A and B are shown apart, each in its own frame.
Chain A
Amino acid sequence: MSVQTADAGLDSKLWSGRRRVLRRNLTAFLFLLPTFLFLAIFMYQPTLNVIYHTFFRWDGFSVERFVGFKNYITMVNDPNMHIATRNLGWFFLGWMLQRISPFLVAELVFNLKRERSKYWYRTLFVLPMVVPFLVTIMIWKFIYNPLPTIGVLNRMLGSFGLESWQTAWLSEPSLVILALLLVSFPWISGWPFLIFYAGLQQIPNEVLDASVMDGCNVWQRMVRIDIPLVITSIQLVAIQTMIGIIQDFAFVLIMTAGGPAKASLVPGLLLFMAAFRGDQMGYGATIGVTMFIAIFILTLLSFRYTTSPFARTRRTRET
């Protein structure tokens, strides 16, 4: 019945009338209601609580004493924070590359000719996600064990006649970050792989066909077509990775506890120790809130310098 009345005028009448707009906005708010209800209870309230407590000497429960900006001043002057931030810079570079690099593998698999081999490779690359975190860490602790009888790395160096290179990998301040970055080599994390692959699948066939017609080789196609088209996927992985890296502490805690001699200390670990080891929840909260601000700014920057979702919404608004 609606088909007869369908004309250009109807569309504007349906969507641009004042009442329509109001109604549409109301609908949108209703759609958002459940999200904000849950976020308010389990996210915003605890967050405000935490921000409030950054101005307190606070143990998480009963001891609560107003100290003004002392926690923030302590943090800015904390030499551990300086070391941790510098270390985080290296981890950031390394882990960001690791999480983006599966794009190349996704490209390789995507360009395979046979559907069956595509299927199997996808499965193989995604499957490692089921291995518990602790098991992976345990394997790498075995690999790095300084005793050549146990540690594979030192054993391999020995069998190549490189005995002088053998070392206690996690006990060398100059090597420890490198050793930690090497963990889970060759770094094909299943999750980015999945996102990138899904992104590549989204590229319309016409575009791919056109690129073949134009005589693009694989490399040119990747740089000129694939990357611009899956940039939102890359951005997604990058933002998620950034948040993960800045907040991480469990990995470093279990591998080295920030050692040796603070060479692998990260801010997340300082936060954890302050909050759960030292009854200094207030200070931990201060580090947490600072991380939050840092992540917030970096996220905004990433929107600015890549295809911003906001730019996109503006474009859609014009149409």
Chain B
Amino acid sequence: MNRALSRRQFLIGTGGLAAAGLIAACAMPAAPMEDDAAEGSGLTGELTIDMQYVPGKVTADTPVALHEILHIASEYQDMHPGVEVVFEEPFKATEAMTQPTYFKAGAAAGTLPDITFTYGLTFIYDKDTIIPTTEYLNQPNQYIPAGQPGNSRWIDQWFDDVQPIVLADGNNYDIPVGWGGPGLVIAYNKEIFAEAGLSGPPEKTYYDYYQACQQILDTGTIPVESTLLSWEWDRMVDYLVRAMGLFELIDINGDGFCDDVEQTRAAVAGIVRLDAPYWVEPTRIWKEATNYYQPGYLQMAQTTSAIGYGEVFMTEQTAMVWNATRIWPQLMELGGTDKFGVFNLPRLTNKLTPWGEEDPTWLIARGTESKTVTKTARERGRVDLAVDFLKFMTTPANTARLIQERLGTNLVLPTIKGLEDIDIDDDVKALVRDYEADTAKPGFSSDRIGDWHFWYEWFSATQAYFADDMTLEEMIQIQIDVLPTFIENFLVDKELHAEAAEWEKMQADYTPPPWGDYTVPTEPFVMPFNA
């Protein structure tokens, strides 16, 4: 064998390999959405969409195949010949760690479907990746019969409190698909309640809820399983903000919501403060209430929710569990409604703190599951088609079909009017009636103040305060100290947007209202029924 030749061959081979790599790199077909040219804005063409589940398929977390959306899509196709609705596989490991990465990359490259499912929008909304829907929400929804809410204006078909949220630039970006609801219901174990001498769920106030907790604790059982999310605290702040007449002052555009921009403005103007009862009192109450939660409650939310949420409740070691919709199918498997019941989050009244109202309006949180029209749709000229399909999908009739079908896999509550006839368990239906009848209002959503930095500092300080390593003043001072960073970053971003000037004017005009003298009490909070 000629050795020199073999070496030359090899070198040629190496060069060839490198060249092949380059050619492969350059010549690979471009991303799929770029092959089909935009086909105008008429209602024809292919529409890509992902759901939270794989339609028509049994998957590991969807024990019952969900077909309704396929039927709805085919009905839509029959109505609009030339339209083809294509369902893409959702990426379902939507844990906090990977979802933003996935969404950001997909958004940057335009590989998201035309309509995508999303949990949190604030981290992406102004990055030119999702399409504002405000304009469309104010148009009529022609799929709704005349005279019914939504027929003249699409947005009217949602309950007032669960309408699509307005983000910092004054626009809507998402369409709540009608099965979010309050979400944060509490489930309870009827047997453990009976042992503690409780005949049913507590009355609808925090006072009664904590009293029930105390009664259960006295029998030696841990009352509640939850995680250190700010849900409880956040709701209590919202009730006090309402009770003290602050809400209307923050809601400067008077639309009944405090959107991101208003919350941020409130933060700039100093809503986080040491002499504010609405901020301090809920924190004190919350600390006392940690006695009722399972050991390990002080860990970060993500750490418990990522793995085996609800395990303590399901092994019957606690009487209640927060955010029960997540484990609904397992509860049904473990004993059904004979054994487990659900109730809505309680209200904060003046029975627990003098700053509360006697009979406050029910404050509810907006559902978090929504659909968003993406940049992909705009590039393909399909925004109108996407919006039209969403109008069809969110009609009460279609929403009812989707919700009813999904009951086997998840507890879902409607956010769209006119769904009285859907077939849900009575206990569950009572939840819906609660917020329908109480003509609920949205809260201030204090949990939307600040960015990750603010929240990380706040959680860490809360952990230290609950562990008595820090005083309440120190903890709140940390919140106050961290806010400027958030505001500064926010403003840097805002400078790149047209709305910045307006936003800054709003910031300049705002002055917080007085509420009299208030200093942080030195003695810890005591539950009134224990006093």
Contacts and interface: CB of A to CB of B under 8 A. Distances in A.
On whether A and B touch (CB less than 8 Å), the answer reads: yes
Nearest to A36: B18
Contacts of A274: 452-453
A67 B128 CA distance: 22
A319 interface: no
Contact of A27 (B11, B306, B460): B11
B302 interface: yes
A309 interface: no
A63 B206 CA distance: 44
Contact of B461 (A134, A261, A279): A261
Contacts of B107: 61
B21 A279 contact: no
B307 A34 contact: no
A33 B17 CA distance: 10
Contact of B22 (A37, A255, A278): A37
A62 B127 contact: yes
Interface string A259-282: 111100100000001101111100
Contact of A278 (B108, B296, B452, B459): B452
Interface stretch (B76-84, B310-318, B326-334, B501-509): B310-318
Nearest to B100: A276
B298 A250 contact: no
B464 interface: yes
A33 B97 CA distance: 37
B463 A260 contact: yes
Contact of A259 (B18, B108, B294, B300): B300
A256 B303 contact: yes
Most central of B11, B222, B300 by chain A CB within 10 Å: B300
Contact of B128 (A37, A62, A145): A62
Nearest to A74: B485
B32 interface: no
A273 B452 CA distance: 7
Contacts of B451: 278-279
B100 A277 contact: yes
B245 interface: no
A41 to B, nearest CB: 7
B452 A65 contact: no
Contact of A150 (B97, B315, B460): B315
B467 interface: yes
A134 B307 CA distance: 9
A261 B295 contact: no
B317 A149 contact: yes
Contact of A260 (B14, B25, B100, B298): B298
Contact of A63 (B14, B97, B467, B496): B496
Nearest to A65: B492
Nearest to A42: B25
Contacts of A279: 123, 451, 493
Contacts of A141: 303, 307-308
Contact of B127 (A61, A65, A171, A253): A61
B8 to A, nearest CB: 10
Contacts of B459: 259
A288 interface: no
Nearest to B11: A30
A100 interface: no
Contacts of B493: 57, 59, 63, 279
Interface in B452-473: 452-453, 456, 459-461, 463-464, 467, 469-470
A147 B496 contact: no
Contact of B467 (A31, A41, A173): A173
A157 to B, nearest CB: 14
A262 B459 CA distance: 9
Nearest to B454: A278
B302 A257 contact: yes
A168 interface: yes
A266 to B, nearest CB: 13
Contacts of A41: 25
A80 B470 CA distance: 17
B350 to A, nearest CB: 33
A245 interface: no
Contacts of A260: 298-300, 460, 463-464, 467
A265 B453 CA distance: 13
A211 to B, nearest CB: 41
Contacts of B461: 261
A61 B296 contact: no
A136 to B, nearest CB: 12
A33 B14 contact: yes
Nearest to B98: A276
A102 interface: no
B495 interface: yes
B299 A259 contact: yes
A216 to B, nearest CB: 45
Contacts of A199: none
A137 interface: yes
B294 A147 contact: yes
A170 interface: yes
B101 interface: yes
Contact of A261 (B14, B18, B463, B492): B463
A253 B315 contact: no
A62 B496 CA distance: 10
Nearest to B122: A279
A185 interface: no
B300 A257 contact: yes
A253 B15 contact: no
Contacts of B74: none
B439 interface: no
B489 A34 contact: no
Contacts of A65: 492, 495-496
17 contacts: A27-B7, A138-B308, A141-B308, A146-B295, A146-B296, A149-B315, A171-B299, A250-B97, A253-B97, A255-B303, A256-B299, A260-B298, A260-B299, A260-B300, A260-B460, A261-B461, A280-B489
Q: Which 10 A-B pairs have the closest CB atoms?
A: A146-B295, A257-B300, A278-B452, A261-B464, A277-B452, A260-B463, A146-B296, A261-B463, A171-B298, A262-B460
